[in-house]
Amino acid sequence: MSEHFENPVPTVDLIIRIGDGIVLIRRKNPPLGWALPGGFMDVGETTEQAARREAHEETGLEVTLEHLLHVYSDPARDPRRHTITVAFVASAEGVPVGMDDAAEARIFALDALPSPLVFDHSRILADYRHFLRTGERPRPVDDQG
């Protein structure tokens, strides 16, 4: 008899800073829209390894991970399934190129982001703006009161 588990799936997302802007990708696959570079972790890799791999696969950039921003686990954050993402702040140099499942990769000013942003990436970017202003990362939220 085999056991069947329905656990959340681990992912990573990156806020990649280049100059005064951040890199976003336009997704090729549903949900369509603009997103932070990132994706599903592979078996045998750390979140840091997954973040660097996903950044390179989707944008062609080699990134330096600078901060762990937060872990996001709202069961509704991804309409495809329950995921948990580890969000990193990273830096890079160069020009991003949309690759893999990214139709396009571009640098945007934080005050001129495209729409729509998919998943919970608006929330992640709001937390990033707060981090830039205050140096404070999001606090854990207990939805049970």
What residues are labeled active site? 104
The encoded tokens of residue 59 equal 């944008």
**57, exposed or middle or buried, with CB in 10 Å at 0-12, 13-18, 19+?**
middle
Kindly report each contact of residues 79-83 with a partner whose C-beta sits within 8 Å and lies 24 or more positions away, as own/partner: 79/31, 80/30, 80/31, 81/8, 81/9, 82/8, 82/9, 83/8, 83/9, 83/10, 83/11, 83/40
Rounded to whole angstroms, the Cα distance separating 88 from 71 reads: 9
From the number of C-beta atoms within 10 Å of its C-beta (0-12, 13-18, 19+), residue 85 rates as buried
